[in-house]
Structure 1
């Protein structure tokens, strides 16, 4: 018997009307949260429009460039070359690569997996183990403090960039009102070539012309000198005070304040559209620095003395590899500690940035390949930057007529050579009166006994500035010696800007994402972004005063070092030992489709090697701890107490949050809080046993705040539904009649 064709048509019309109603329902309620189930009284919410509302990368390249821009920052340019000089040249690459494999790469891949699987920012990702939700708050606080002073450094780069648009760079000479009598620009090549001595007043003395009377008037005060780039940085741009004790040190420097406001405006413009806008900005911030590095490298290889600088950079000093220093009755290998610290802080784990970036990935993205690509690119960038920097150092040594070692020491210490050694090269700290048995003769304690047959010089002590001093003193001084120096200065500082902004985008985005995720402010993302930039700029103005450099140094010393290391050790312990390394591996398998390559390598590093390395780095930092100082100024006790308070505040969130959770929960509290909640994992159909059921128009939706009311049926919809119901009844009757007839036929045959 033929079925009723009208029944099929009526059901089709009913389904169409149902789909229309459902479409209308979803389109009118973009932010509706559907309650899937409840576990331990906690609602597990799944955002019906999560991938759209929260934001996502437009393509894979944007994520890669964002991670690369975050990892490759100012430290790759100003710190890695200094560490190579300090730790034996090319031999430093051995511990550097070793620490990459045991610390940097495992932590980087670990946080990418965590963020990509959880699909949330650092504040809300710790549903994996609710007892340690304070970890997320600690990460965000570290990112916030770092973002405050990092943008001030970007403001400095803006100021130097604007100052470079001149025919003659303002830090190229000592003829300006901010220069002092100590300002000297050393051009000793012609003097030393003729076996002469360059005095601090710029005069060239030959050995036969130097009398005992002249030697008698040489003292440490007379020997002090500063490069013009040094005085431009400290006396003009910073207008730095003598210390916190100066009463007028709180006055704002208007030029720095304007540059800081500009820096925060640029950050806002890069982030106000969310990760979509940030993904477009990183095309420039990630790629342009490489263009500038290539241009500077091409220029450096044409300079006289370039090969000497590269030879100094690459020549290994094997004795450094096993150099052990004694400090506070403990032994530590200095070279290996420097390599571990550089890897750790270069890649930027434990600040929440990597978790934030990965949380906007597609669930099945191959984050292992991304981690390998970015970490290797980061290391190669640092290595290549060394060729550019030491090539220019070799050129400076050639121009000044001194060994490369002397200029490298000058660059590493962030100030000028106090004198030039000619016949008997050696280094003496303090003053000339300390020269004793290091000569091939006995001085006897009196400078007047030094005859004209010998030329004795010393290096006056000066602050070690392996960071800001290199970027804003040593490098600008080198650029000022190049032909067409303004052009190279513009390129160099634009490169610094893009490197800094690339990292700053991720740091600020981490804070914004955390606030938006916790307080469900996705519709108000723009307002949160504005608020973050305004607060950051307001607090950052304190570093645009005469005391500003001291405040910045204090934040740099305490905000991101001890707390970040502790966070790294704790997060690895929580995931690998509380949540379980096997469970985490299953999560990764669910994302990648299989266990990651070298599965047991990852398990060994995450469970043992990496936590041990992080703890050792933390021990080294405590062993080598010294109160904060800048140059010859030692910070007062209250300043160091304030610094430790900042570090403690960042870490204190972890135990405080744990105590609050334990005290407010009943039953087996510790056990329950160490288990992942039902909300752990991606908010879509990738959860095991937690797939969202298909939307049925006949079933009311349980919403987070209120129940969404269906629109009343129209008369045509009601008639169609009644017609469909009647047709279904007719079909059922026909099927029953067919079955009865079939049974009767079978019975008659039997």
Structure 2
């Protein structure tokens, strides 16, 4: 007969909700597409092509894509699907001492959650002003203008365009003094509104995220296609396209071109951020993630190339109409918030086109933002499943993340916030951090866990073994390219002089902290883990798959011997028999 104490004792499983799954494969595809296809496709890739030799840039881009981007993209997605774990606990299952790899990726995600959404605040501010006629950045008769505007000749350095003054004096309210200055409260309200949208898109988890992406992931394509059709029919569009694609083969000898290609691939494919692992973890076990990953990679790169045609056709028209050189147009935020608005203001019905453009920018950024928040929430939930998989816990967790990131994002909407934004954008999710994480991921999976063993896991899921090229990339090619590129990045002088003007010597300190924090997570966690419990850090197991939140952690780290572990190929009947034996060994019928 149970005692009174025994009756009052609560079962730890009681109230714990099961881990969710995508309702169908399309929700997974659209969520992944929404994450990897973002603002970088529209404002960064086209100008990297122009800056680095036009169409020739596609050569180093494709080298990094096929040797690093696709292999790591597939590795992270397959790992998430097989383990049903987020970006941290999935690496705990590979080997507990390398859980720091997942923590490092979540540091990158935290950076993105804090500063990336500021772009959405800018887009919302512009979108609101796009309903005005005439567009407020198309004239000089405004309170924020300085009297130095000149519309017809932008080649004179003593003049500034009304678009530049709207951007600097109205949107950013830039101050030339050092430091951050006061908060721009109109922009802060836009930032708050962006977080409110993001929160209600993901607060219920993939049940809401999977439905929202049907619109947010497809609408930008419609807008991009409309802008492309309008752009190529304008006078001067052909000149813009020539600048976009004109080949300069001498650029292939420039190491900076290869570095730019690698950085673009890693950032635009969202690798080494834990995001792909988190999204893949909600897949059904037998989903063909190999086919999905190849299709998504093709879609991402094709979108980048297509966006270049839409962007440069409009920019070519602007250069033709104003009689200015296309080379005067800058990349980055200046493209989306200075050059493109200027071009749109020259079109008949300019307000209509401006609304379409900034809606596209908003949805491109929104997809990426709420998937980044989802990645962080998934990682935290999987670390504490017995507490955070209870009714209401998810909503509170996402609310805490949103409020914290909003408060941490307020410095970016101050008078000196654009300088801080550029520092974080350059050195936060930087190429150096992503390259080291990618190198660690491929080495841990291929040499500690075993590339052939991981291929067996994939075969168990999808029914066949992927191309062996991916395996050899994990084992040799990807780590080698990452190390070489990373060493070049470290040897190259950092462009801190521009930021030092705004923040003084603190710019170097901020940049160093942004780079070092994720990099130190890996060795620091190895040291702490081995000191805390060296035996459990190297405990071998038979499988990676999660079967229950409170089952013992299953790991695959056979005394950290750096050699691939091989298992013979099995036919489907043998695979099913072996899987049943493995599950039985863990007490699962």
Shift of 1:357: 0.3
**Alpha-carbon spacing, 1:677–1:174, altered in 2? closer, same or farther (3 Å):** farther
| 2:499–2:507 CA contact under 8 A, matched in 1 | no
Select which of 645, 667, 679 maps to 2:513.
645
1:95 CA drift (Å)? 2.1
Once the two structures are TM-superposed, the CA of residue 555 in structure 1 deviates from its matched residue by 1.6
Distance in 2 (CA, whole Å) between partners of 1:687 and 1:269 is 41
Alignment deviations for residues 189-226 of structure 1 (CA, whole Å, 9 cap, x no partner): xxxxxxxxx9x5xxxxxxxxxxxxxxxxxxxxxx4222
Contact 2:171–2:187 (8 Å) recurs in 1: yes
Please say which of residues 277-286 and 393-402 is displaced more in the overlay. 393-402
Post-superposition offset of 1:690 = 2.1
Contact 2:198 2:366 in 1 (8 A): yes
1:437 alignment counterpart: none
Matched, 1:546 2:511: no
Shift of 1:268: 0.4
Find 1:604's aligned residue among 469, 472, 482.
472
Judge conservation of contact 1:155–1:259 (CA < 8 Å) in 2. yes
Alignment check: 8 A CA contact 1:80 1:386 kept: yes
Q: Is the 8 A contact 2:419 2:502 kept in 1?
A: no
Give the unaligned 5+ runs of structure 2: 1-9, 549-575
Q: Is the 8 A contact 2:37 2:300 kept in 1?
A: yes
Q: How does 1:79-228 map to 2 (within 5 A)?
A: 79-126=44-91, 127-186=93-152, 223-228=157-162
Q: 1:263 aligns with which of 189, 194, 201?
A: 194
Q: Larger % of strand: which?
A: 1
1:689 maps to 2:582:
yes
Counterpart contact for 2:416–2:502, Cα < 8 Å: no
Structure 1's unaligned 5+ residue stretches are 1-28, 34-48, 189-197, 201-222, 325-332, 413-465, 696-750
Report the Cα distance in structure 1 between the residues aligned to 2:517 and 2:250, rounded to whole angstroms: 41
Q: Confirm or deny: 8 A CA contact 1:243 1:633 kept in the other structure.
A: no
Alpha-carbon spacing, 1:476–1:144, altered in 2? closer, same or farther (3 Å):
same
Mean Cα deviation higher: 306-315 or 95-104: 306-315
Give me the TM-score of the superposition, normalised by structure 1.
Answer: 0.69
Alpha carbons of 1:238 and 1:677: their partners in 2 closer, same or farther (altered >3 Å)?
A: farther
Tell me if 1:580 matches 2:498. no
- Name the stretch that deviates more: 507-516 or 641-650: 641-650
Distance 1:687 1:336 in 2: 48
Match of 1:502 among 331, 355, 367: 367
Aligned 1:389-428 pairs, distance under 5 A? 389-402=311-324, 406-407=325-326, 409-412=327-330
Which of 211, 226, 242 is matched with 1:295 structurally? Answer: 226
Q: Give the match for residue 217 of structure 1.
A: none
Residues 299 and 676 of structure 1: CA distance in aligned 2, closer, same or farther (over 3 Å)? farther
Name the SS of the counterpart of 1:690 in structure 2: helix
Q: Give the C-alpha shift of residue 394 in structure 1.
A: 1.6
The equivalent residue for 2:406 is 537
Matched, 1:480 2:345: yes
**1:32 matched residue in structure 2:** 13
Q: Is contact 1:363–1:682 with CA below 8 Å preserved after alignment?
A: no
Indicate which of 389, 392, 412 corresponds to 1:522. 389
| Structure-1 residue corresponding to 2:279 | 357
The question of whether the paired residues in 1 share the 8 Å contact of 2:114 and 2:405 is answered with yes
Q: Tell me if the contact between 1:282 and 1:502 (Cα under 8 Å) persists in the aligned partners.
A: yes
Matched, 1:595 2:462: no
> Contact (CA 8 Å) 2:175, 2:181: kept in 1 or not?
no
Change (3 A) 1:634 1:615: farther
Deviations 1:415-455 (A, max 9, x none): xxxxxxxxxxxxxxxxxxxxxxxxxxxxxxxxxxxxxxxxx
* Aligned twin of 1:250: 181
Does the 8 Å contact 1:129/1:677 carry over to 2?
no
Normalised by the length of structure 2, the TM-score is 0.88
Rounded to whole Å, the distance in 2 between the matches of 1:632 and 1:232 is: 25
The CA deviation at 1:627 is 4.3
Answer whether contact 1:116 1:360 (CA < 8 A) is retained: yes
Shift of 1:157: 0.5
Instruction: Measure the CA separation in 1 of the matches of 2:11 and 2:65.
Output: 44
Contact 1:629–1:635 (CA<8 Å) still a contact in 2?
no
CA distance in structure 2 between the aligned counterparts of 1:232 and 1:683, rounded to whole angstroms: 56
* Conserved 8 A contact 1:578-1:674: no
Quote the RMSD (CA, aligned, Å). 2.2
**Residue 232 of structure 1 aligns with which residue?**
166
Instruction: Tell me: CA distance 1:175–1:53, structure 2 relative to 1, closer, same or farther (3 Å).
Output: same
Distance 1:496 1:171 in 2: 18
Structure with bigger gyration radius = 1
The 3 A distance-change label for structure 1 pair 184 and 107 is: same
Aligned position for 1:654 = 522
In 1, distance between residues paired with 2:384 and 2:437? 24
2:116 is paired with a residue of what secondary structure? helix
Q: Which deviations, in whole Å up to 9, do the C-alpha atoms of 1:641-699 show, x marking residues without a partner?
A: 12212322222222222222211225xx4xx624555673232795751247578xxxx
Between the aligned partners of 1:490 and 1:623, the Cα distance in structure 2 is 44
CA distance in 1, matches of 2:376, 2:499: 33
The question of 1:385 aligning with 2:307 is answered yes
Residue of structure 1 in register with 2:204 after alignment: 273
How far does the alpha carbon of each residue in 1:33-59 deviate from its partner, in whole angstroms, 9 at most, with x for none?
A: 9xxxxxxxxxxxxxxx99x62211110
The alpha carbon displacement at 1:286 in A equals: 1.0
1:669-708 matches, cutoff 5 A: 669=535, 673-677=537-541, 680-683=544-547, 689-691=582-584
Conserved? CA contact 1:516–1:522, under 8 Å: yes
